[in-house]
Amino acid sequence: MKTFIKSAMFASVAAMGLSLAACDSGAENKMEADADATREAADDTSDAMENQADAMGGPAEDAMEAKAEAVDDAGEAKADAMEDKADKMDGGAPG
C-alpha cells in the first residue's frame, strides 16, 4: 500500500511538472529528471529494505525499518535540493 501511495504521488508530481516543462531549459529539465531518478532510486532501495525487515521480526525489523526510512528521507532531501537548484536556473520560478 505504501508503494502504491508513493507511486500515485510521484505520478501526480510528474504530471504537474510536465505541464510546465515547456517553460524550462533543456539543462533544467535534465536536472529535474535526475532529481526524479534520485528520488525513485531511494524509494526502490527503501522498499527493498522494508521487505527485508518484514522477514526479520522483533528489534532487527524495527532497526531495518528505521534505516529504510532514513534512506528514503535522504533521497527526498537530495532530490528536493536538486530541484531547487534547477528552479534557480530559470530565475526561481517553480517548474
Q: Is residue 95 part of a domain?
A: no
Q: State the Cα–Cα distance between residues 82 and 75, nearest whole angstrom.
A: 11
**Can you list the alpha helix ranges (DSSP code H) found in 1-95?**
2-20, 26-54, 58-88
pLDDT at 5: 64
Number of domains in the chain: 1
The CA-atom distances, in angstroms, between 14 and each of 3, 8, 53, 58, 61 are: 16, 10, 30, 37, 32
Q: State the Cα–Cα distance between residues 52 and 64, nearest whole angstrom.
A: 8
pLDDT digits (tens, 9 = 90+) for 11-66: 665 665 555 555 667 888 899 999 999 999 999 999 999 999 999 989 999 999 99
Q: Is residue 14 part of a domain?
A: yes
pLDDT digits (tens, 9 = 90+) for 14-28: 665 555 555 667 888
Q: What residues make up the domain containing 17?
A: 2-88
Q: Is residue 44 part of a domain?
A: yes
Per-residue pLDDT at 68 exceeds 90? yes
pTM of the complete model: 0.67
